[in-house]
Structure 1
Amino acid sequence: MAKTKEKIKEDRHLKRFHYTVEHAIEKPFNWKQLWRLLVFLKPYSKNYLPASLLAMLVSTAVRLLVPILIGKVAIDIALANEDTTLLTYLVFGIAALYLVSYIGNVFRIKWVNILGQNVIYDLRQKLFSHVQRLSHRFFDQRSAGSILVRIMNDTNSLQELFTNGIINLIMDIITLTSIIIILLVLDVKLALAIMVIIPLMFYISTKLRRNIRRSWQDVRIQQSRMNSHLNESIQGIRITQSFSQEKENTEFFNGVNTDNFESWRVASKKSAMFRPMVELCNAIGTIILISYGAYLILLGEENGGIAIGTFVIFTFFLGMFWEPISRLGQMYNQLLMAMAASERIFEYLDEQPNVEEKTDAKELTEMDGHIEFERVQFSYDEERIALHEISLDIKAGQTIALVGHTGSGKSTIANLISRFYDPTKGAVKIDGHDLRDVKLDSLRQQISVVLQDTFIFSGTILENIRFGNPGATDEEVMEAAKVVGADEFIQRLANGYHTEVEERGNILSAGERQLLSFARALLADPRILILDEATASIDTETEVKIQLALKKLLKGRTAIIIAHRLSTIRESDNIFVLEQGKVLENGNHQELMQQKGEYYDLVKSQFQMLDAI
């Protein structure tokens, strides 16, 4: 039965939904992971952390001391004996203590904020640096939006934990422990009566923790999904508008946005249950204090009761007693959110590059550019083999071309030379060194790659060309642009080489962006140059300029040219014709044309297409 339009649209949405899903991690609370987070505090353990703890201890000590002074000194002594002098001294003393507490709190807040911001900075920096070193396979399997969420949103989720959470946690534990000890010392019976509700409260919070933790994990997943879709929509806005798919895109975003809203609503609802429970416990404790405390006062101290001052101290500490418990409940929620975010952060930090660098890897200081493929086999996944045990011998300084239909393995060969991937079998060697035995930086610094869809960074024209060689002077940048023929259009721009290009170089044409990539590659002065469909986006007039520039660019370098436009590879020293990951034939242009094989058919079909046009 044929599918309806609505069914087709629903299936397409479900498919898009499937590819953006990240699964929640179902694990018990991981104390080892919490310790990994706390390790980021180590660089500040000699300054901001102890200073914050000291300020916290001062303000906490004042809060605990004041109720005792009011109950025992002010009520039981000063008021009972009508000692106004003592009462006056006490008022000024308490005022001085509150001033000390205020100063302590000011410095505590200041220092913990500095501490928290430094930790988040370090964590985000480490995560970004680590992601930059991961292999291409990692980025093949994840959207840019989901990676963005990990680096930005998930690290931001830890900000509250490090700025307030840890210090407040210590403060609340000290406060709670101290209050319990003080109350037990003052009167064991009344203290135990008030605290009878504590086991029930902790049981309830323990029971809910799994659901709350899972809910906050789901929030992170939905945020990642929404960011992925936003990134995809913005990057593909021209295609969306070209096919008039704005409505469908909006409908899909509405679904993703709704899921994100619902995940937040559910997580917030579950988290909000803690405070009312604590308030209920507070109410029960207050009822016990008033009823049983009043009974003990009426009983009298001589009969095992308590004084009015003791009752007042209990009243003060009761409010202070449930406050840290309430905050500990909120802190637990915050900790659950932090654990959900940290799981995702450490998942990336624990990710190891598929292309690993050996500890004893050699520095490839000088490179001639002799490339060998020794029975290389490679597959991106288990089901499809991209290269079938191919062997290539590319002499230093040679210009070779790779031609063939889409999916024949041309770009895979280029990726293996740059060691973006490792071969499944066999070896790729440069100057006799297996690429798995050399340092990645020393290899890639001597290789430049020019792609069909060249990437232009935000910044000036000058900065974009200099990207391949940060130490180059302005004069060297301009000379490289002149050599490849980019200087002409650059000079026509409003600010010349200092013109700011927009994101991805949108103010430039495809051909102009390609010329900049050639200038960038030339300035890097590589020993090996890879041109992957580098002239595909260039018009015929620009291609003539490029061909002239290539003669200078390729001189003295080993070059691998991947091209569908066969007119660009006629001068190559050797041409390898690929089909389904195998080398069908190789030779220079004249030799292959004489063989009248696959290459001959490709050239013939291309010229027939031009004649038809």
Structure 2
Amino acid sequence: MTAAPGTEATTKAAPGGTAAPEGDGPGDPFDQDLLPAPRNAQFALLGSLLAPARARVWLAAVLLVVQQAAVQVGPLLVAYAIDHAVPALRAGRHGPLIAVGCAYIGCGLAAGGLQRVFIRTAARVSQDVLVDLRGRIFRHAQSLSLDFHERYTSGRLISRATSDVETIRELLNDGLDELIEVVLSTLYIGVLLVVLDWRLGLVTVASAIPLYASVRSYQRRSMAVYRRRSTATAAVIVKFTETMNGIRPVKAFRREEPNDAAFADLNHAHYRANGDALLEMARYVVGSRLIANITVAGIVVWGAYRVAGGGMALGVLAAFVLYLRRLYDPIDRLGMFLNSYQSAAASLEKIAGLLAQAPTVPEPEHPVPLPARPQGAPPGREVVFDGTRFAYRTGGEVLPAFDLRIPAGQTVAVVGATGAGKSTLAKLLARFYDPTEGRVLLDGVPLADLARDDLRRGVVMVTQEAFLFSGTVAENIAIGRPDSTRAEVEAAAKAIGAHDFIAALPDGYDTDVRKRGGRISAGQRQLVAFARALLADPAVLILDEATSSLDIPGEQAVQHAMATVLRGRTAVVIAHRLSTVEIADRVLVMRDGRVVEDGPPSELITASGHFADLHQAWRDSLV
């Protein structure tokens, strides 16, 4: 189809049907809680989190090494006291026993002091890691493209930033020091036992083989359980978040009982996953305790036999028993650590998978600036779709390849039935998506080559969902231009016809709109969103069903204001209400992803085509 020069719109391919966004098909990783990530990505993530605190990590390690050395001296002092200091005391020499007592007290004080410094140092490292991790999740989630958020639910993101981070916090705060203490004490005690008596020492060391096998078996079994538990936790959060966000339709359609049943199933799955985790823990503790008790009983009997035969000093056996108690008592603590570790490892794996996702609409490596506008020139810029085609990754084509030029300052209305591709065209112009083929240009510069700040200053979109953030009305309007003054905020509101209702609020522009703007009506939220966009003063303004929440008087007021505000600005207006078309210089009629009619609204109404039929149907609906 050929139109007048400067308004050409031709299609180059057969029509394609609309398709559901990627992620709706079976086997899509976005349907799973665990996103794909490079091998060992969780360990690389942990290393990068600890890297800034490397010096404090080493300090904490040194403190714990020295602290454990002070702790493990105790049984040796007991052995010396039994075999040497007590006989010396009976001989009238008090010095050895006093020296042993002072040494024991000194080691206890040193161990306590070093432990205190270690806990403070480790706590600072832990908090720094958690602050960094939460910040990374939040920043990365914001940087990911719109298609990611349309497939990966907000409940899962909340689960990553809350329950998964909390699991890692528990490991860092309560688990790592336990593990290091167990490892260091095991090494110290193993060496000391061999030094005290190499025969008994080798028996003790040999018992570590079945204990190690028990630990490895627990790790293999429990990892799958903790992944399932983390997924079950996320599912509970997703369902809860979804239900509370949709509480109005829940109430309207009496969905309480079906929701209760669905949540009960998820809650029971979470219960089973937790039960399986505790069962695996119980199996590990019972098996490890059995190995430890058999080893201790055998060593005590053998040691007592040797003491009775004079082949071993009583003090050495006493020290040996004390060391054995210290060696095997941490088995439960090690089990608790493994419990925390497996849970944290599953959480870290999921966070690493999230952070491994790359934006599908990336920032350009070498941004190209927009050409400067002549002094006093209108703000609008030319928009060109050059061989542009779009299809979802699953293969469903939404827009066949087409060419379209919108001159600077022109207001274009895009109409058509639901699913015709109108909103997809708008999202390509706003660069929420990149075309599968071809380019979208702004004053000759591809959108993919524009820096994010230039793009957002150049193109602003107002959607059907007028989302307001918690805060005042003025703050929500100023999001369009954060450095604006109160006078500029009020001027934008007046231009769009929102000033009167804002002034009538309890605190005027300082009224808190509360969560999601719930304090004001849907139409009022839409007016605030208009004022926000107009304050941003974009070159191109996209209105995607932006008047859908307004009543007839409100829509007429907005249209009257827009006729003035959009003068000289390039605008793309997508609407089902054909009353919005009256402000347009040009109308595009879309069908099955193609532009099937293109021209001024007055000409299309008098022609016998799709737009004339749509316009007549709209007039009939008014009657």
TM-score by length of structure 2 reads: 0.90
CA contact (8 A) 1:409 1:580 kept: yes
Question: 1:299 deviation in Å?
Answer: 2.1
Counterpart residue number, 2:347? 341
| Paired residue secondary structure (2:453) | helix
Question: 1:384 deviation in Å?
Answer: 2.6
Counterpart residue number, 2:364? 358
Deviations 1:386-409 (A, max 9, x none): 111122110111111100000111
Structure 1: state its 5+ residue gaps.
1-14
1:43 to 44, 52, 62: 52
Counterpart residue number, 2:615? 603
Which range moved further: 50-59 or 147-156? 50-59
Counterpart residue number, 2:185? 175
Counterpart residue number, 1:138? 148
2:403 to 391, 399, 405: 391
1:53 to 33, 58, 61: 61
Report the Cα distance in structure 2 between the residues aligned to 1:484 and 1:585, rounded to whole angstroms.
30
Question: 1:528 deviation in Å?
Answer: 0.9
Report the Cα distance in structure 2 between the residues aligned to 1:282 and 1:22, rounded to whole angstroms.
45
CA contact (8 A) 1:24 1:221 kept: yes
Q: How many aligned residue pairs are there?
A: 592
CA contact (8 A) 1:396 1:557 kept: yes
- In structure 2, the CA distance between the partners of 1:359 and 1:21, relative to structure 1 (3 Å rule), is closer
| Paired residue secondary structure (1:468) | coil
Report the Cα distance in structure 2 between the residues aligned to 1:385 and 1:510, rounded to whole angstroms.
33
- In structure 2, the CA distance between the partners of 1:521 and 1:273, relative to structure 1 (3 Å rule), is same
Counterpart residue number, 2:214? 204
- In structure 2, the CA distance between the partners of 1:50 and 1:365, relative to structure 1 (3 Å rule), is farther
Which range moved further: 259-268 or 381-390? 381-390
Question: 1:215 deviation in Å?
Answer: 0.3
Matches within 5 A, 1:235-254: 235-254=245-264
CA contact (8 A) 1:60 1:175 kept: yes
Question: 1:205 deviation in Å?
Answer: 2.2
Letter in 2 for 1:333: N
CA contact (8 A) 1:62 1:101 kept: yes
CA contact (8 A) 1:119 1:162 kept: no
Counterpart residue number, 1:11? none
- In structure 2, the CA distance between the partners of 1:19 and 1:29, relative to structure 1 (3 Å rule), is closer
The percent of aligned pairs where both chains have the same amino acid is: 32
CA contact (8 A) 2:470 2:516 kept: yes
Matches within 5 A, 1:221-240: 221-240=231-250
CA contact (8 A) 2:41 2:353 kept: no
1:71 to 65, 79, 87: 79
| Paired residue secondary structure (1:373) | strand
Counterpart residue number, 2:195? 185
Matches within 5 A, 1:93-172: 93-172=103-182
Q: Does 1:516 align with 2:535?
A: no
CA contact (8 A) 2:83 2:313 kept: no
- In structure 2, the CA distance between the partners of 1:20 and 1:246, relative to structure 1 (3 Å rule), is farther
| Paired residue secondary structure (2:225) | helix
Counterpart residue number, 1:573? 585
Report the Cα distance in structure 1 between the residues aligned to 2:466 and 2:102, rounded to whole angstroms.
73
Counterpart residue number, 2:99? 89
Deviations 1:495-534 (A, max 9, x none): 1111112211111101100110011111111111111111
Report the Cα distance in structure 2 between the residues aligned to 1:410 and 1:369, rounded to whole angstroms.
20
Report the Cα distance in structure 2 between the residues aligned to 1:16 and 1:352, rounded to whole angstroms.
21
Question: 1:26 deviation in Å?
Answer: 12
CA contact (8 A) 2:30 2:152 kept: no
Q: CA RMSD in A?
A: 2.5
Matches within 5 A, 1:574-593: 574-593=586-605
Counterpart residue number, 1:330? 336
Report the Cα distance in structure 1 between the residues aligned to 2:327 and 2:36, rounded to whole angstroms.
32
1:315 to 316, 321, 333: 321
Letter in 2 for 1:562: I
Question: 1:160 deviation in Å?
Answer: 2.5
Question: 1:45 deviation in Å?
Answer: 1.5
| Paired residue secondary structure (2:312) | coil
Letter in 1 for 2:237: N
Higher relative contact order (CA 8 A, sep 6+): 2
Letter in 2 for 1:345: I
Question: 1:65 deviation in Å?
Answer: 1.1
Report the Cα distance in structure 2 between the residues aligned to 1:250 and 1:18, rounded to whole angstroms.
28
Counterpart residue number, 2:558? 546
Structure 2: state its 5+ residue gaps.
1-23, 374-379
- In structure 2, the CA distance between the partners of 1:21 and 1:135, relative to structure 1 (3 Å rule), is closer
CA contact (8 A) 1:364 1:439 kept: no
Question: 1:34 deviation in Å?
Answer: 2.2
Question: 1:319 deviation in Å?
Answer: 1.3
- In structure 2, the CA distance between the partners of 1:415 and 1:35, relative to structure 1 (3 Å rule), is closer
Counterpart residue number, 2:475? 463
CA contact (8 A) 1:197 1:285 kept: yes
Report the Cα distance in structure 2 between the residues aligned to 1:458 and 1:90, rounded to whole angstroms.
66
| Paired residue secondary structure (2:400) | strand
Which range moved further: 171-180 or 79-88? 79-88
